[in-house]
Every structure is written in structure tokens, then in C-alpha cells.
A and B are shown apart, each in its own frame.
Chain A
Amino acid sequence: MKPLFNLETLPAGLGVESLRIGDLSEAMEYLCRVIEPQIQDAPLAQYPEPTSNNTAVGLADVISLDDARRRVLAAGQPAPVDQPDTHNLMSKNGQSTAHQDPTQPSTEDTSPGATIINLADHMQQPLHDAAGGSQSAQVIDFQQHQIDNARRLASNAATEDMTFAEILQKAQNG
């Protein structure tokens, strides 16, 4: 990526970088504080919080519903009932998973690479609709080879000790 400008050539004393870091930190903390009640409305909030070591690449704050199911089942608690509005009910190939038996081991990949896709599922939705796709809020517009590639990279990451940046870079390069 060609740099838009060189930090080293900025006039000394401008303090732009420090100013931006301060603004960004404040913005991040503010959003996290404000948005928390909206997240707490989700039934998923009843599940145990993810531990800090559930991924190798710093995605400990991200947890999928299937991962949560496994934790609940492991703790011997009743399995949760699916909530249509709180989880992507369609698998990547468009097949519904709404009626999947929660007591059965999930085949969904909850590795770091798959977690990245989970984030994109929801963010990508408006794009799909705008492009003339289905108006259904559950349709995912990912190509299978991209998903496979991300999962393969995530799988390799565990053994190759890849960083998050490396996974992203490799996934982008295909």
C-alpha cells in the first residue's frame, strides 16, 4: 500500500498523530460504553463470557453462538433456544440452520478465520440487498472458495502461530 503521506516528514511539533490517537481512543471507549445496553438485550448475554485464551490471535471478545452452545452444554446447563433476530440463521451456502439440534456437535468452524467471516456476515448484508439480491435479512453473499480459504488459513494459524495480520493478509491474497 502506497503511503498517503510520510509521518516522518511532518513538521515537528504538530502533534497530529498524538491528537488522533487520543481522539480514537476516546471514540472507541465511548462507543463501547454506549452500545453495551443494546448488546445486553441479546439473549446471548446469558451465556458465559469468553475467556481470554479462546483464540490465538486476539479475537477473544468475539464468540459465536455455536461456541456459546458448547460452553453451556459443557457446563451442564440446558441448551438455549434459537432466537431468529439474534443470530445469522443461514449457513454460508444459504441453508437454514435454524432448526439445528443444539445438543449435536456443531460443524461450524469457530476458529479465528471463521470468526472474521461471522463479523462480515452482518456488515455485508446491506451491500447484498443494494446489489439487487434477496431482501431477506438472512442471505449471505460470500463465495464458497473465500470461506474455504479463510477456514484453511485459520486452521493453519494454530500450528503455524500466525499473527492476526498475517491471516488477514493471506486471506486477502487468496
Chain B
Amino acid sequence: MLGKSRPQNVNQVRAQAYRDLIRREAKIGGTLFGTLPNGHRREFFCLDKHTWVWHEEWSDKSGKHHIRNTRYDVRPTGVVKIQDGRGYQALSPSEARNLRDAVRLYYRKVMNDLYHQTV
């Protein structure tokens, strides 16, 4: 029984460690776009080869909590945007350029700050 549970535990540890790395990257990614207003929480990260995620949370003046998830799907034919799981939107050329630049900055900063590798 112990022999069976051990590999599962190793896999669980690996999966948890991988998710934790993404969480740390997300915090670094959230710092790339300037100062956040008070009460805002922002994360930007690479989920996998085909998915980049922008997550933002904030409360408005009435105290109502808002969450906005923006997912960028990378497809062979181009990148599309899905906000809060509703529909697909094409990227304007300027947004495409900004996303590319943000991804490059994210890669450099994550590699340098988290993985201590110079790129």
C-alpha cells in the first residue's frame, strides 16, 4: 500500500509545486503595468502554452466587489481574448503589440527574479 501511495504523493507534490510557481509568477506579472490603485489586486501569468491570464479584483465606491478575468487564447491562427468567459474578441493591432511586449517583459522578469536566470 505504501508503495502505491508514494508515487501518487510525488506527483501531488510536483503538481502543487508547479502551481505554486505559477502563483509566484502571477504576482510578479501583476507588477509589470504600473502602480495599482488602493484596493486593487492584479495578476498576470502564463497558465500554459496556449493560455495567458489577466486577473483583476477591486471594490467600487459602494463597496461592491468586482472580478474581471481576461484570458488570451493562443491559437495557430492568432490570439483571441475572452473576458469573464463570454465570447471571443479579436485583438486590435495595438493590443496585440502591448500583449506581446507584456509577455516579453514577464518572461524576462520572471526568469530573472524567480528563477535567477539571465535572458
Which residues does A use to contact B, with CB under 8 Å? Answer: 1, 3-5, 10-11, 14, 16-17, 19-21, 23-28, 30-32, 34-44, 58-59, 61-62, 85-88, 116-120, 122-124, 126-127, 130-132, 142-143, 146, 149-150, 164-165, 168, 171-172, 174
Cα separation A42 to B101 with both chains bound (whole Å):
15
Q: How many residue pairs at the A-B interface have CB separations less than 8 Å? A: 164
Interface SS, A side: helix
Q: Are B104 and A32 in contact (CB under 8 A)?
A: yes
Known contacts A132-B60, A165-B113: A123-B33 contact under CB 8 Å:
yes
CB distance from A37 to the nearest CB of B (A): 7
Q: B47-90 CB contact bits vs A (8 Å, 1 = yes)?
A: 01110101010101000001010101011111100010000000
| Docked complex Cα distance between A21 and B18 (Å) | 10
Q: Are A86 and B31 in contact (CB under 8 A)?
A: no
Considering the complex, give the chain B residue whose CB is closest to the CB of A168: B31
Find A116's partner among B32, B52, B70, B107 (CB 8 Å cutoff).
B32
14 contacts between A and B (CB under 8 A): A24-B110, A26-B49, A27-B48, A28-B103, A30-B50, A32-B103, A37-B78, A38-B91, A39-B97, A42-B97, A122-B95, A123-B98, A127-B68, A172-B35
Closest 5 CB pairs of A and B: A42-B93, A120-B33, A38-B96, A16-B17, A28-B107
Pair A146/B10 contact, Cβ less than 8 Å = no
- With both beta carbons as reference points, the residue of chain A lying nearest to B90 in the complex is identified as A38
Contact with A along B89-119 (1 / 0, CB 8 A): 0011111111111111111111111010100
Cα–Cα, bound, A142→B36 (Å): 9
